[in-house]
Each structure stands twice: as C-alpha cells, then as structure tokens.
Amino acid sequence: MGDKRVALVTGANKGIGFEIAKQLGNRGVTVLVGARDEARGIAAVNRLKAQGIAAQFVLLDVKDQHTIDEAADSIAHRYGKLDILVNNAGIFLNEPLPSGNDVSTLKEVYETNVFGVFRMTKTMLPLLRKSDGGRIVNMSSSLGSLTLNSDPDFELATFIVLGYNSSKTGVNALTVFFANELRNTPIKVNSADPGYCATDMNGYSGPRSPEQGASVAVYLATLPDGGPTGGFFNEVGAVPW
C-alpha cells in the first residue's frame, strides 16, 4: 500500500479526464483510470505508462452501482485508501429549447452527470476517509452557474441547454452539501470549471485545450491542508454560483 497518493478519475480514457490523470501522474500520484470501455481504458493506461506514469485501469460505469462497488473493493484491497476522487465522467446530449425538451432526456443526462457523481462520492467516501487528506473534485461548468446564466451579457447566455446546464448546477449542489458534511474532516470537496475545451463531447469546438481544462482540477486535487472547501473555481479564481 505505502504512502504514495492514489487518485481515481472517472471517464479518464480521453479528453479532459485523460489529461487530469496525466497531470496527476506527472506529480507522482498513482492514477486509476476509470472507464466503462475496457479496451479504451487499457489503451489510455498504456499511453500513461509509456510516459513513466503509474497507472491502472478500473472498469467503471457511473450509472452502474455494481461496477462502482467492485472498483471500491479492488481499491481497498490493493491500496487500502483513496486520496483523490475526480468525478469527471459526464454526457452532453443535443437538446431542444426547454419548452421542447422532455423528461426522458433530462433523466438520461442526470443519471450520469448528477446521480453518477453522487454514487461515486458516497461509495468512495469510506476510502477517502482513510487518507490523511482526501480530495474530491467535481467537474462542473460555468454553464451551471445560475448567477452567470441570469446575466444577459454572459458570453454563453444563448447556450440554453436545460438538461446539461442544470445538471452542472446539481453537481455544484452536491459539492456544497458534501463539503458541509465533511467540513470538520481533512477531506476537501470543490467544483472545477475547466472552461470551453475542445473535446469530442462538443465536436472539438471549444477554444481551450484539454490540457488547459485539466489544470484547475489538478490544482483542486492537490490542495494543501489549508486550502478551500465547498467552492467553485476555474484557473483564475472563484466562479459565482
């Protein structure tokens, strides 16, 4: 087991998740690459290992509690703890305007983006409690900010995607309430806004790179003991709720 930090990143086989794993690995953290596709997950691990990073594949579907339980059991057996959990896995669907949307679409988005974060956090919390300073990072978005979306001058104000945007608002709520519960423990819980990055989720349309998007998550995952908890941050500073 040892004292080396261990991080689990969900959806880490590509995009921002892969870059988070890579950047944590370059800091000497053992990274567990959570992915629901075994072939892609193993390929990502091999890419990381080729760069000298200690990495391991973990079969993980955040919609499937059984795979989450098995992942937790495997981590407990091999490492005895978890130091960092990055809830990165998420989906984006092509949605009509709110008045044309439907409940089934909202449920599908929330199943991964909100309930998946809850499942992961609750299940991995006993392992995070065994760390000297557990860190939970929930990947959110400025699109989940009610303050920004209420401003007509917000640069993404016309991006009216009810399911995805409100799911990130829900992620921020999970951050606040888990942080409140854990405030008197060494565990810190924060939301990260990676910015509009070019990934396959948006057809590589974002102006920022996955490397840039990963930086705030890595910062929050490696906060010192005196760092913040229950906050929402991008690489510049606090993002309004």
pLDDT digits (tens, 9 = 90+) for 10-57: 999 999 999 999 999 999 999 999 999 999 999 999 999 999 999 999
What is the C-alpha to C-alpha distance for residues 120 and 43, in angstroms, rounded to an integer?
A: 23
- The DSSP call for residue 156 is T
- Bigger pLDDT: 103 vs 211: 103
Percentage above 90 pLDDT, the chain: 89
- The DSSP call for residue 64 is -
Are 131 and 186 within 8 A, CB to CB?
yes
Quote the mean pLDDT of the chain.
Answer: 93
What is the C-alpha to C-alpha distance for residues 189 and 5, in angstroms, rounded to an integer?
A: 17
Identify the burial level of 1 via C-beta atoms within 10 angstroms of its C-beta, where 0-12 means exposed, 13-18 middle and 19 or more buried: exposed
* Annotated catalytic residue within 168, 188, 204, 219: 168
* Residue-level pLDDT at 105: 97
Active site residue 107: no
* Residue-level pLDDT at 201: 58
* Residue-level pLDDT at 198: 45
What is the C-alpha to C-alpha distance for residues 233 and 241, in angstroms, rounded to an integer?
A: 10
* Residue-level pLDDT at 2: 46
What is the C-alpha to C-alpha distance for residues 58 and 53, in angstroms, rounded to an integer?
A: 16
The values of phi and psi at residue 147, to 5°, are -60, -50
Mean pLDDT of 97-121: 98
Q: Where are the domains of the chain?
A: 6-233
pLDDT digits (tens, 9 = 90+) for 146-186: 999 999 999 999 999 999 999 999 999 999 999 999 999 99
Mean pLDDT of 188-204: 72
The values of phi and psi at residue 146, to 5°, are -70, -35
pLDDT digits (tens, 9 = 90+) for 4-17: 999 999 999 999 99
What CATH architecture applies to the domain 6-233?
A: 3-Layer(aba) Sandwich (3.40)
* Residue-level pLDDT at 212: 82
What is the C-alpha to C-alpha distance for residues 184 and 53, in angstroms, rounded to an integer?
A: 33
* Residue-level pLDDT at 196: 57
Cβ-based neighbour number of residue 16 at 10 Å:
30
Residue for token digits 């490492």?
79
The structure tokens listed for 104 are: 């089934």
* Residue-level pLDDT at 77: 98
What is the C-alpha to C-alpha distance for residues 183 and 191, in angstroms, rounded to an integer?
A: 15
Are 82 and 71 within 8 A, CB to CB?
no
Residue for token digits 């992915």?
35
pLDDT digits (tens, 9 = 90+) for 53-101: 999 999 999 999 999 999 999 999 999 999 999 999 999 999 999 999 9
Looking at the predicted structure, is the pLDDT value of residue 217 above 60?
A: yes
Looking at the predicted structure, is the pLDDT value of residue 1 above 70?
A: no
* Residue-level pLDDT at 174: 98
The structure tokens listed for 144 are: 């989940």
* Annotated catalytic residue within 14, 22, 81, 164: 164
What is the C-alpha to C-alpha distance for residues 76 and 86, in angstroms, rounded to an integer?
A: 17
Confidence grade of residue 205 (pLDDT, cut at 50, 70, 90): low
Active site residue 196: no
